[in-house]
């Protein structure tokens, strides 16, 4: 049971929550692949996606000044080059133009989601202190500034900066510390049940799960204090 009158502060996840309305980013990029008619199966695409994420996670390719569009271009470049190297797509198909179109499609998707989320974040920031806790590459501040979201959060806890990644509950503990409030008066809002909801619950926070299409199928027994399927439902949850 979620009771907004007992909430004093909010911790938001970023990727998959604010920028894609709960949709896992692999699913968003796959939609871009389909729109561009990239001739690969979803299974092969997911392998390319994992390769890209691991490459970016292990190497300092993303720089602090990179915007989200910059980052998407890096991701699609790594994915398409991997597909080409593995003979999953013809070499002639793996053009700079394709990579750019994929990145642009995804950026437009993110911008649309963020344009919907922005006024809700603004309204929430006027009622509660907001902290962002995100698994990101060290450039989250540039991303927030590009999307005009940088004024809503009193603090940012970014995995690449603090050296802790979700689902480690310690990263949410840092968010609680930034709010200087008892955990039971804080609600964590995120799209990943495993990486957001479970660890936040384990340290005593309340939770709102923005449930959409995830990386894996759901078991069916997942729970949170409140489950929503659209970011705009936060307006009713907090009586905005």
Query: What's the gap between Cα 82 and its chain centre?
Result: 23
Contact (CB, 8 A) for 202 and 190: no
- Which pLDDT does position 94 carry in this prediction? 93
Q: Is 53 helix (H, G, I), strand (E, B) or coil?
A: helix
| pLDDT tens column, 159-184 | 999 999 999 999 999 999 999 999 99
In this prediction, residues 187-213 reach a mean pLDDT of 97
- Which pLDDT does position 218 carry in this prediction? 87
Dihedral angle computed from the Cα positions of residues 17, 116, 29 and 80, in that order, rounded to the nearest 10 degrees: -110
Read off the pLDDT band of 219 (50, 70, 90): confident
Domain segments of the chain: what residues?
2-21+113-236, 23-107
Domain over 2-21+113-236 is classified CATH 3.40.50.1000: yes
Q: How many CA atoms lie within 13 A of 61 on its CB side?
A: 16
- Residues 6 or more apart whose CB falls under 8 angstroms from that of 222 comprise 193, 197, 209, 211
- Which pLDDT does position 18 carry in this prediction? 98
| pLDDT tens column, 27-43 | 999 999 999 999 999 99
| pLDDT tens column, 89-112 | 998 889 999 999 999 999 999 999
| pLDDT tens column, 127-152 | 999 999 999 999 999 999 999 999 99
pTM: 0.95
Distance CA 162, CA 205 (A): 20
């Amino acid at each position: 049971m979620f009771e907004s009158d007992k909430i004093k502060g909010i911790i938001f996840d970023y990727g998959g929550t604010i920028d894609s309305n709960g949709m896992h980013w692999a699913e968003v990029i796959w939609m871009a692949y389909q729109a561009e008619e990239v001739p690969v199966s979803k299974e092969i695409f997911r392998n390319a996606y994992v390769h890209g994420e691991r490459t970016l996670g292990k190497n300092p390719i993303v720089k602090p000044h990179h915007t989200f569009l910059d980052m998407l271009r890096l991701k699609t470049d790594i994915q398409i080059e991997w597909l080409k190297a593995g003979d999953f797509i013809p070499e002639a198909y793996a053009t700079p133009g394709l990579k750019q179109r994929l990145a642009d499609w995804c950026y437009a998707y993110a911008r649309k989601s963020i344009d919907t989320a922005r006024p809700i974040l603004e309204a929430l920031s006027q009622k509660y202190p907001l902290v962002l806790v995100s698994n990101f590459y060290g450039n989250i501040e540039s991303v927030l500034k590009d999307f005009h979201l940088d004024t809503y959060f009193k603090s940012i806890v970014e995995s690449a900066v603090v050296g802790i990644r979700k689902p480690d509950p310690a990263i949410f503990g840092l968010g609680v510390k930034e709010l200087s409030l008892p955990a039971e008066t804080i609600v964590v809002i995120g799209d990943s049940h495993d990486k957001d909801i479970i660890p936040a619950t384990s340290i005593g926070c309340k939770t709102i799960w923005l449930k959409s299409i995830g990386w894996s199928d759901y078991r069916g027994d997942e729970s949170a204090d409140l489950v929503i399927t659209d970011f705009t439902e936060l307006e009713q949850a907090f009586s905005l």
